Amino acid sequence: MDLLDKRVLVTGADGFIGSHLVEMLVKSGAEVRALSVYNSFNYWGWLEALDCLKEIEVVSGDVRDPHFCREITREIDVVFHLASLIAIPYSYVAPDSYVDTNIKGTLNVCQAAKENGCERVIHTSTSEVYGTAQYVPIDEKHPLQPQSPYSASKIGADQMALSFYLTFGLPVTIARPFNTYGPRQSARAVIPTIIGQIAVGKKQIKLGDLTPTRDFNYVLDTCRGFIALAESDNTLGEVVNIGSGVEISIGDTLDLIKDLMHSDVEFITDKQRLRPEKSEVFRLCCDNTKISGLTGFTPQYPLENGLRETIDWFTNPDNLSRYKTDIYNV
């Protein structure tokens, strides 16, 4: 499927990955309807920062409402469903919210897409559903382990979306990105946390555990993966990883960022940033064989290149001023 002139809905478009995906879709020639979560300030999140804002249709609402989902999917060809509660620490204190948004929200989007005859639905999963790797690299057959309420809600959402493919023939693909980073990412994530604290002149960096490994992917690669999945008929009904196949520890990531920013900051453990022992995911590394075979997709940004782009963005005073680097973002 060529997305040129296709009518595309992006839920969660006001967020980190969603806003970059909107930009990429506009460049590809798609007609984009962008969902921003409703608020009384009429604030559209990161969509406000896009040069292409006038070229998209922004709607405000909430995927938790099935009637609203039915309206926004009318006359839509392709749905990229990214709307989700994603902060793992917050899922420890407000798990019911994750069920409502992630599972029931996905149900609402899929039901609406089915009723309105949408041609494709790309549902967003997460590598967190795998939990700590039982083997690496992690392929799509790896067991699912709900090591946090967030992870459990995403497992539930994935299965709900797949059930609509198997039961009703809804043309669903599950996109399962590994850890994405880049401009506009929330300060709750580790890479913005490190860069932001160094950028404001901190002499000590507050972090949690440095030993876990992650497969970090620059946001533009993740978005390219989403689009590759949508354009391929081979991905219908499939769960597909998006990742680099390269793992690095949080500690080594900190050292790399320090080198790139010419910093000599010291690390200190902040206990509130530590996950409960059995909830920590200690190892993630993607097997991207499937997406490569189905779509020909390969990542284009080595970690160091992506980090340079991210550092350049975060160290711009206008961008850095949007972040509260003294506050731990749950």
Q: Given pLDDT bands bounded at 50, 70 and 90, which one contains residue 329? A: low
The yes-or-no verdict on residue 72 having pLDDT over 90 is yes
Three-state DSSP at 315 gives coil
Three-state DSSP at 321 gives coil
What is the CATH code for 7-180+218-242? Answer: 3.40.50.720
- Top CATH class of 183-214+246-284+302-320 equals alpha beta
For 295-317, write each residue's pLDDT tens digit: 999 999 999 999 999 999 999 99
The yes-or-no verdict on residue 61 having pLDDT over 90 is yes
For 186-238, write each residue's pLDDT tens digit: 988 999 999 999 999 998 888 888 999 999 999 999 999 999 999 999 999 99
* pLDDT for res 276: 84
Name the residue among 148, 85, 78 with its Cα closest to residue 116.
Answer: 78
Strands of 7-11's sheet, edge to edge? 57-61, 31-37, 7-11, 78-81, 120-124, 172-177, 239-242
For the ranges 12-16, 190-194, 274-278, the lowest mean pLDDT is seen at 274-278
Length of the chain: 330
Give the start-to-end residue ranges of the domains of the chain.
7-180+218-242, 183-214+246-284+302-320
Query: Looking at per-residue confidence, does 329 or 115 come out higher?
Result: 115
Q: What is the mean pLDDT of residues 70-77?
A: 98
Beta bridge partners of 63: none
The yes-or-no verdict on residue 275 having pLDDT over 70 is yes
Pairwise CA distance, residues 240 & 253, whole Å: 26
* pLDDT for res 209: 85
* pLDDT for res 272: 72
Number of other CB atoms surrounding residue 234 within 10 Å: 13
The yes-or-no verdict on residue 330 having pLDDT over 80 is no
Three-state DSSP at 240 gives strand
For 15-39, write each residue's pLDDT tens digit: 999 999 999 999 999 999 999 999 9
Name the residue among 330, 270, 312 with its Cα closest to residue 89.
Answer: 330
Name the residue among 39, 40, 51, 45 with its Cα closest to residue 10.
Answer: 45
Q: What is the mean pLDDT of residues 282-289?
A: 97
* pLDDT for res 278: 87
For 154-176, write each residue's pLDDT tens digit: 999 999 999 999 999 999 999 99
Number of separate helices (H) and strands (E) present in the chain: 12, 13
User: How high does pLDDT run on average in the chain?
Assistant: 95
Cβ atoms of 273 and 327 within 8 Å: the answer is no
